[in-house]
Amino acid sequence: MSAGSFILNILILGVPFSVALLLAGLGETINQRAGVFNLGCEGIMAMGAFLAFLPPYFLADTPLAGSANLIGLLLAIGAGVLLGLLFALVVVTFRAPQGIAGIGLQMLGWGTAGTLFRKYVGGVTGVAGIAPLPIPGLSRIPILGPILFNHNPLVYLAFLLVPVFWYVLFKTPWGLKVRAVGTYPRAADSLGIPVARVRYQALAVGGAMAGLAGAYLSLAQAKMFADDLIAGRGFIAVALVYFGRWNPVGVLGGALLFSLAQSLQLSIQVAGIDFPYEFAVMLPYALVILVLALVRKSRMAGPAELGRPFDREQRV
Amino acid sequence: MPFEPIRSLELRGITKRFPGILACDHIDLTVGEHSVRALVGENGAGKTTLMNILMGLYQPDEGRILINGREVRFRSPNDAFAHGIGMVHQHFMLVPNMTVAENVALGMKSSHRPGRLDLGSVRKRILEISERHELPVNPDAYVWQLSVGEQQRVELVKTLCLGARFLILDEPTSALTPQETDELIELLKKMSRELSVIFISHKLHEVKALSDTVSILRRGRIVFEGRTEDHSPADLAALMTGHEVALPCVECSDAPRPGGPGLLYVRDLRVRGDRGNRALDGVSLDVYSGEILGLAGVSGNGQRELAETLNGLRKPESGSVRLDGVELGGCGADAVIAAGMGYIPEDRNTEGIVPSFSVRENLVLKDVGTGGWSRAGFLRLGPISRNAATLRESFDIRCPSVDTAAGSLSGGNIQKVILARELSRRPKALVAVYPTRGLDMGAEEFIHKQLLARRAEGAAILLISEELDEIMNLSDRIAVIYKGRILKVVPGREATKRSLGLLMAGVLDE
């Protein structure tokens, strides 16, 4: 295999790998900009992956088979919204510590999905999933075509959502409110912005995106469900938001960096290059830690009140 | 404007309770059109709570609000804005990582178009307002880039942009330098021709300069109302604190100071600031036993760096600091504390106390490993509690209990906690940085008396302040710092405000 096709393979594989991280990371960006970090992202992704997998699995031979994937996606998004709102109830209304509550949500989602899967589905079974949709014309461009324009529709959607999220965050009234309640909720409150309501909305959006990210894994990437399908991607997504300095474009960069490292290690194994595979598998995770440690710390970029509940009548 | 202009605003029987505190106790207050009403009281008297009720941020437990004789109910600040009431809070309500225009847009609901934030119209409005009221602001600057004085202007512009015709200003001068304060007072005088203003303050010369009528709050109740011009600052101070206030003055002895090195001895100190600039450029000072040396200067001329270096919180590039003959230049804070240095830091909330620790714990923070407060790695809770009870009594620290988190106390009481801790250690020397900034007269009087008492006991005190009255009242000698150098040291009794003011501006010879 030539070096050129080796690198091309890494890129072709890496782009779809980044999608689950990107979708979850965009949602988490909104959460954190509003001042709440949701470690339960992993659990919401597990529920999303499981629920999205059900319609194609059970409706395979029914008249509804054609729209099974769409029903699955909607189920995942709906569950994500509900879990996001549940998290908001716990950390915004009851002001529970966000780290602990997030770990609880992660266990709840992961455990529920796994248990229901074993009870009603059982062994590992594949589904048809979402088929690739090459874009006519563009997918035939040499090199760029296969890298960017020969994927399933969710890949295109995820990349289009990056500028959409950027616009929402920085150019709309809602984005302005989200940023204000995450940085200085007292100021937002003094201007009549309902801090709790904005945080609920942000967590609902974040939950929907995490659910969608889970659905992507089971319907488009793995085309199956298993207990450990998410494999820490929810936590990586939380880390990528810090890495991306709470900016959708930065999160895209982080997701691509991680997924390219992932596809590099797979390619190393597939190509039979003499390199201990344990280290290859470690590579993407080690890279994230390294980059997080080295990334420029700027005090003025992000949500200063990240992780703190807001109480109007509390002094200081 | 959906509502008619406010000709009269009445608060009737407003009562608000917080756990353990009756913040407002049946308060009646009436304010008319085009007038400036000063609302005066000590810290914790209930001024801010009352105004937060008027803004709809707090709901009163009892009482009514009437505008032009009709009862209104404010459930959120939006309701107050709709009636043309706006407030500039003591702690600026500006999001630091957003631009000025974005901060204004946050409250300007007309710029919230579906799917789009109309920053263009916000910018236009800001420029209109800033031109009309001569308040220059740059709508595209980020708030964190602005100085405190500029942020104050942005707050005013923001409030006016939101349509306020009735302005509430909560201690608007507490973070400003004397020059910025004078400018603000002039500006507010002009604005009061078109607007009604409630001006919260405890600085009585500002109240005299600006207000038509004055209401005095003490412990949640209105104790006095009257025309400002009929009463002297001393009358008002007595009404505010409930007793005659006389700020103490130092009595300089004529005995000449001994020559030679002071108890606190500083030579040729060179220190870099946070941005790598040379913040101190060869500072030499002697503070003798039983003396208060006042260090006057506009803040930002090296005072912070000097205080930090003397207390082992910043490493000098070169130079010497000695306390009672012990060399401390470049030593850490632990060595400085052990040598007998006391420190009242500039930022009392973050450097002076651990806000989430109780008053009791904060009072033993400096000696917890050494003194009588621990044995074999365990805290001795009995002596710690007795210490707290004694100091609470002798320093008049007003707190629900010594287990209360120190950060929840008012500024004056936090400062008393710090003072109690530092002075009860019987320091040989004390560095006090802006010790009364933002405090009311009662607390100021108390702190000044304590400093003079320590002076009488032989401590060497370096008093860093911007308030010339404070410096001139307390200092045996006054040094003026300018751009990291000591410009001149003058005897306290020879100093005049004019001569110090010129020195502070860097003018050495008249």
3-class DSSP assignment, residue B61:
coil
Chain B CB within 8 Å of residue A189 CB: yes
**Residue B98 belongs to domain with CATH number:** 3.40.50.300
Residue with tokens 């631009």: B99
- Mean pLDDT, chain B, integer: 89
Chain B CB within 8 Å of residue A300 CB: yes
* Better-scored residue on pLDDT, B110 or B246: B110
- Asked which of B218, B241, B264 is the last residue of a domain, the reply is B241
Q: Which residues of B touch A184 (CB under 8 A)?
A: 93-96
Q: What percent of chain A has pLDDT over 90?
A: 67
Name the residue range of residue B359's domain: 352-421
Q: Please tell me the distance from the alpha carbon of residue A236 to that of residue A42, in angstroms, as a whole number.
A: 9
Distance (Å) of CA B276 to CA A300, B224, B340: 20, 52, 30
Q: Please tell me the distance from the alpha carbon of residue B301 to that of residue B485, in angstroms, as a whole number.
A: 8
Instruction: State mean pLDDT over A281-297.
Output: 80
- Judgement on whether residues B184 and B155 belong to the same structural domain of the protein: yes
Chain B CB within 8 Å of residue A180 CB: yes
Residue with tokens 């007998």: B340
Res. B1 pLDDT band, cuts 50 70 90 = very low
Res. B274 pLDDT band, cuts 50 70 90 = confident
Residue B1 placed within a domain: no
Tell me what pLDDT residue B507 has.
Answer: 82
Answer whether B9's CB lies under 8 Å from B30's CB: yes
Chain A CB within 8 Å of residue B76 CB: yes
Give how far A303 is from chain B: nearest CA, Å. Answer: 9
* Better-scored residue on pLDDT, A176 or B187: A176
Chain B CB within 8 Å of residue A95 CB: no
Helix ranges, B364-496 (H) = 381-394, 411-424, 441-456, 468-474
Q: Which residues of A touch B96 (CB under 8 A)?
A: 183-184, 300, 304
Residue B115 placed within a domain: yes
- Judgement on whether residues B185 and B88 belong to the same structural domain of the protein: yes
Answer whether A297's CB lies under 8 Å from A25's CB: no
Res. A1 pLDDT band, cuts 50 70 90 = low
- Asked which of B387, B421, B455 is the last residue of a domain, the reply is B421
Residue B3 placed within a domain: no
Q: Please tell me the distance from the alpha carbon of residue B264 to that of residue B284, in angstroms, as a whole number.
A: 11
Probe site for chain B from A174, A186, A305, A316 (most B CB atoms < 10 A): A316
Give how far A186 is from chain B: nearest CA, Å. Answer: 7
Q: Let me know the angle formed at the C-alpha of A232 by A226 and A235, rounded to the nearest 5 degrees.
A: 140
Answer whether B358's CB lies under 8 Å from B403's CB: yes
Give how far A208 is from chain B: nearest CA, Å. Answer: 20
* Cβ <8 Å between B106 and A191: yes
Number of cross-chain residue pairs from A and B with Cβ atoms under 8 Å apart: 81
* Better-scored residue on pLDDT, B149 or B281: B281
Answer whether B420's CB lies under 8 Å from B363's CB: yes
By CA distance, what is A194's nearest residue in B? B76
- Judgement on whether residues B100 and B51 belong to the same structural domain of the protein: yes
Q: Which residues of B touch A179 (CB under 8 A)?
A: 95, 97-98
Q: Please tell me the distance from the alpha carbon of residue B126 to that of residue B137, in angstroms, as a whole number.
A: 8
* Cβ <8 Å between B102 and A191: no
The answer, yes or no, to whether residue B462 has pLDDT greater than 50, is yes
pLDDT in tens, B296-349: 988 788 999 999 999 999 999 999 999 999 999 888 999 999 999 999 998 888
Chain B CB within 8 Å of residue A99 CB: no
Give the pair of three-digit tokens for residue B343.
């420190």
Q: How many domains does chain B have?
A: 3
- Judgement on whether residues B173 and B199 belong to the same structural domain of the protein: yes
Which of B76, B87, B144 lies nearest to residue A300, judging by beta carbons?
A: B144
- Judgement on whether residues B151 and B283 belong to the same structural domain of the protein: no
- Judgement on whether residues B232 and B106 belong to the same structural domain of the protein: yes
Residue with tokens 């602005």: B146
pLDDT in tens, A59-115: 988 888 889 999 999 999 999 999 999 999 999 999 999 999 999 999 999 999 999
What is the ipTM for the molecules in this complex? Answer: 0.90
Instruction: State mean pLDDT over B98-107.
Output: 95
Chain B CB within 8 Å of residue A188 CB: yes
Tell me what pLDDT residue A316 has.
Answer: 43
Instruction: Please report the residues numbered 88 through 107 in chain B whose beta carbons come closer than 8 angstroms to any beta carbon of chain A.
Output: 89, 91-98, 102-103, 105-107
Chain B CB within 8 Å of residue A316 CB: yes
The answer, yes or no, to whether residue B242 has pLDDT greater than 90, is no
Q: Which residues of A touch B140 (CB under 8 A)?
A: none
Tell me what pLDDT residue B375 has.
Answer: 86
By CA distance, what is B89's nearest residue in A? A190
Give how far A286 is from chain B: nearest CA, Å. Answer: 31
- Judgement on whether residues B35 and B183 belong to the same structural domain of the protein: yes
By CA distance, what is A175's nearest residue in B? B117
Q: Which residues of A touch B57 (CB under 8 A)?
A: 189-190, 312
Q: Which residues of A touch B107 (CB under 8 A)?
A: 191-192
Q: What percent of chain B has pLDDT over 70?
A: 97
Res. B252 pLDDT band, cuts 50 70 90 = low
Tell me what pLDDT residue A298 has.
Answer: 59
Res. A296 pLDDT band, cuts 50 70 90 = low
Q: Please tell me the distance from the alpha carbon of residue A194 to that of residue A291, in angstroms, as a whole number.
A: 36
Chain B CB within 8 Å of residue A190 CB: yes
- Judgement on whether residues B377 and B335 belong to the same structural domain of the protein: no
Q: Kindly list the domain boundaries of chain A, sorted by start residue.
A: 3-294
Q: Please tell me the distance from the alpha carbon of residue B288 to that of residue B290, in angstroms, as a whole number.
A: 6
Find the range with the poorest average confidence among A35-44, A103-112, B19-28, B164-173: B19-28
Chain B CB within 8 Å of residue A196 CB: no
The answer, yes or no, to whether residue A221 has pLDDT greater than 70, is yes
- Judgement on whether residues B88 and B169 belong to the same structural domain of the protein: yes
* Cβ <8 Å between A301 and B81: no
The answer, yes or no, to whether residue B510 has pLDDT greater than 60, is no
Topology of domain A3-294, CATH? ABC transporter involved in vitamin B12 uptake, BtuC (1.10.3470)
Which of B81, B97, B106 lies nearest to residue A188, judging by beta carbons?
A: B106
* Better-scored residue on pLDDT, A41 or B190: A41
* Cβ <8 Å between A183 and B57: no
Q: For residues B151, B152, B158 and B159, what is the CA-based torsion angle, rounded to 10 degrees?
A: 160
Dihedral sign from CA coordinates of B364, B366, B371, B376: positive
* Cβ <8 Å between B117 and A189: no
Q: Which residues of B touch A316 (CB under 8 A)?
A: 349, 355, 407-408
- Mean pLDDT, chain A, integer: 91
Which residue pairs from A164-169 have beta carbons closer than 8 angstroms and sit at least 24 positions apart in sequence?
A: A165/A26, A165/A29, A165/A30, A165/A248, A166/A247, A166/A248, A166/A249, A169/A29, A169/A30, A169/A33, A169/A248
Residue B346 placed within a domain: no
- Asked which of B394, B421, B448 is the last residue of a domain, the reply is B421
Residue B463 placed within a domain: yes
Give me the DSSP letters along A149-164: SSS-HHHHHHHHHHHH
- Judgement on whether residues B70 and B152 belong to the same structural domain of the protein: yes
Instruction: Please report the residues numbered 155 through 174 in chain A whose beta carbons come closer than 8 angstroms to any beta carbon of chain B.
Output: 171-173
Q: What is the pTM of this model?
A: 0.82
Chain B CB within 8 Å of residue A227 CB: no
Res. B3 pLDDT band, cuts 50 70 90 = low
Which of B92, B95, B107 lies nearest to residue A183, judging by beta carbons?
A: B95
- Judgement on whether residues B213 and B359 belong to the same structural domain of the protein: no
By CA distance, what is B91's nearest residue in A? A187
Answer whether B226's CB lies under 8 Å from B53's CB: no
Residue B223 placed within a domain: yes
- Judgement on whether residues B146 and B37 belong to the same structural domain of the protein: yes
By CA distance, what is B116's nearest residue in A? A172
Res. A299 pLDDT band, cuts 50 70 90 = low
Give the rounded distance of the alpha carbon of B365 from its chain centre. Answer: 24
Q: Which residues of A touch B91 (CB under 8 A)?
A: 186
Chain B CB within 8 Å of residue A177 CB: yes
